[in-house]
Amino acid sequence: MKVAAAYLLAVLGGNKSPTADDIKNILGSVGAEAEDDRIELLLSQVKGKDIVEIIASGREKLASVPSGGGAMAVAAPATGGGGGAAPPDAAESKKEEKVEDEESDDDMILTLFD
């Protein structure tokens, strides 16, 4: 990842075709070690390609990756009934958890600014 970041920094700095030495210099300026095999792999993959096209194709690939969020999976109750509602105990515990979360957030804010 750091090799790709150094490559992008070189391109953003105006170097249309950064070399391995350019990438090593950028990484060395922040105290990061440069791995020659990773640098050569990256340079071989981007050789002759426009950085804008590379980023656009990467965005298309990332669009298909699930990013979490959304609904949580809930286990079905072990009882044999076909009811669709959750038992009252589950609803009460959710309310309690919500109240606890709000309290912990308040405590956190107070400790940050004390």
CATH number where 43 lies: 1.10.10.1410
* Domain assignment of residue 37, yes or no: yes
* Confidence grade of residue 54 (pLDDT, cut at 50, 70, 90): confident
Residue 114 — pLDDT band, cuts 50, 70, 90? very low
Can you read off the two tokens belonging to residue 77? 């109750």
pTM of the predicted structure, to 2 decimals: 0.54
Q: pLDDT averaged over the chain?
A: 76
- More confident: 53 or 73: 53
78 is a domain residue: no
Alpha-carbon span 43 to 79, nearest angstrom? 59
Q: How many domains is the chain built from?
A: 1
- Per residue in 84-99, pLDDT tens? 555 556 555 555 555 5
Whether 108 is in a domain gets the answer: no
In a domain, 110, yes or no: no
> Domain range for residue 22?
2-48
